Amino acid sequence: MMIGVEDRSQRRSVWLVVAVLGAMVWAALFTGMASAQEAEPVTDDEVNAIAKQLYCPVCENVPLDVCPTQACAQWRALIREKLAAGWSETRIKDYFVEQYGDRVLAAPPARGLNWLVYLIPPLAFIAGAFILYRAFRAWKQPLPDSEPQRVPSGAAADEYVARLEEELRRR
């Protein structure tokens, strides 16, 4: 009986050991996974993908991903930190805009006065096209004395030769 009791308590302790070991392995696995997740480095390419879209206020017109100055290196380090902390691209960009103003973005955000930057060129182009269209309409009224010259009909090649000769002659 004693043996039996001992046996049972032994079996219990074995289970205990197994459970503890199991827990340790599990914990080890879990923490291992967690630490692996923490240690997975942010690549330069991930940093550059965001830096490419930003401009620091000091280096005019040089995108952050290629700017060689110390200040820009610090900004890139900051992006890396935020990425490591799990920030999204939009959140990082918003953060820089909040800190330094709209000028860090490669193009002005479309709001307020900035709408002008996007509206003026197409409007100017449409206006130009309209003026041109009106001019065409006005010009197309043929003058009686400027009958278009008729090229004698014939084979396409002859027509071309005639036109070429005429153009070269008239220079």
Binding residues for another protein, per CB under 8 A?
Answer: 43-45, 48, 55, 57, 60-63, 66, 68, 101-108, 112-114, 116-118, 120-121, 124-125, 128-129, 132, 135-136, 139-143, 146, 148-149, 156-157, 160-161, 163-164, 167-168, 170-171
C-beta of 31: minimal distance to another protein in Å?
27
C-beta of 24: minimal distance to another protein in Å?
35
In the block, tokens 């008729």 appear at 150
**Backbone phi, then psi, for 55, in 5-degree steps?**
-130, 130
Question: Helix or strand or coil: residue 52?
Answer: coil
Strand (E) or helix (H) holding 168 = helix 156-170
C-beta of 21: minimal distance to another protein in Å?
38
- CB nearer to another protein: pick between 25 and 129: 129
C-beta of 88: minimal distance to another protein in Å?
20
**Backbone phi, then psi, for 58, in 5-degree steps?**
-90, -50
C-beta of 10: minimal distance to another protein in Å?
53
Characterise 101 by phi-psi region: left (phi > 0), alpha (psi -120 to 50), beta (else).
left
- CB nearer to another protein: pick between 18 and 73: 73
- CB nearer to another protein: pick between 38 and 45: 45
| Farthest CA pair distance, the chain | 134
C-alpha R_g of the chain: 38
Q: How many CB atoms lie within 10 A of CB 141?
A: 6
- CB nearer to another protein: pick between 24 and 71: 71
Question: Helix or strand or coil: residue 98?
Answer: helix
- CB nearer to another protein: pick between 33 and 66: 66
